[in-house]
């Protein structure tokens, strides 16, 4: 299931305990996948930053990185991970209220 589908499904107010547990499991898996992808992109970023010339500033290099495809994807993944983490916390709270 895609993250956006999970977000829409989780917003539904009337979910039973089994549904909440399944969504929590699915969202946790998506979150883990995003973390793995971020790790790979952060390694790319490290290699990109390592190619800095002496004339080039760190700020320039960071700005250049953010303009690359990998940099753009990393920006998106970081925000998705923050949102997913909040939703996982919300799911956990909703599950505890069911017990």
Nearest CA to 6 among 17, 16, 14, 25?
25
Q: Which two tokens stand for residue 77?
A: 């993944």
What is the chain's pLDDT, residue by residue, as a tens digit (99 residues)? 788 888 888 888 788 999 999 999 999 999 999 999 999 999 999 999 999 899 999 999 999 999 999 999 999 999 999 999 999 999 999 888 877
Domain ranges of the chain: 3-8+16-98
Q: How many other CB atoms sit within 10 Å of the CB of residue 91? A: 20
Contact 31, 88 (CB under 8 A): yes
pTM of the model as a whole: 0.86
Q: Give me the residue label for tokens 């990393």.
A: 74
């Amino acid at each position: 299931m895609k993250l956006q589908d999970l977000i829409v499904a989780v917003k539904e107010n009337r979910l039973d305990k089994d549904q909440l547990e399944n969504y929590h499991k699915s969202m946790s898996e998506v979150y883990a996948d995003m973390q793995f992808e971020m790790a790979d992109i952060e390694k790319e970023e490290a290699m990109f930053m390592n190619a800095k010339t002496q004339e080039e500033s760190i700020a320039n290099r960071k700005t250049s990185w953010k303009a690359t495809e990998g940099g753009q994807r990393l920006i998106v993944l970081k925000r998705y991970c923050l949102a997913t983490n909040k939703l996982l916390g919300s799911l956990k709270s909703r599950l505890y209220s069911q017990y």
